[in-house]
Amino acid sequence: MAKKALAALAEDDTAPHDNPTAHAHTVMGTALLNERKSDLAAAQFLLAVKADPQNKIARLDLVEAYTRNAQDGLALAQGREVVKLAPGDALSHRVLGALLARNHQPDAAVQEMQTAVRLDPGDADNQVLLVCN
């Protein structure tokens, strides 16, 4: 049933996507995450990442699912991958900073938050999180 739904979703979504299969897994994962089924959502997001390993958004979604599923080590590993994929992206550094703080690594968390602030000084969220760490 899930394979049929995934195939139908990939076929029905006519908007252009770099990787329709990854997009379909992301949509399924998002629906599952919204239903508070974080373990099933993580599985879908992982499939999206496998289908499109360079997709920053799919990895961020996977981080969210792992975090909600209390899989902090896996979330942190994906957060590090996101920063590797998008080193100039403030959001990527902010996410990694939050994950590091959650994993009791305050010095590394502050460094990532400082990088986020440097990359996007106008983003108040970056400033607030830096002060909170």
pLDDT in tens, 12-31: 554 556 888 898 899 999 99
| Final residue before a domain boundary, out of 18, 38, 70 | 70
In this predicted model, what pLDDT tens digit does every residue of 68-91 receive, in sequence order? 999 999 999 999 999 999 999 999
What the block records as the tokens of 50 is: 């496998």
What the block records as the tokens of 8 is: 């139908």
Q: How far is CA 100 from CA 61, 78, 111, 124, 130, in A?
A: 17, 12, 10, 20, 12
pLDDT band of residue 1 (cuts 50, 70, 90) is: very low
Q: Which domain holds residue 124?
A: 86-133
What the block records as the tokens of 131 is: 């002060």
> Do 106 and 57 lie in a common domain?
no
> Do 129 and 90 lie in a common domain?
yes
Residue 90 and residue 120 in contact, taking contact as beta carbons nearer than 8 Å = yes
Q: Provide the number of structural domains found in the chain.
A: 2
> Do 60 and 98 lie in a common domain?
no
Cα separation, 95 vs 86, in Å, equals 12
pLDDT averaged over every residue in the chain: 86
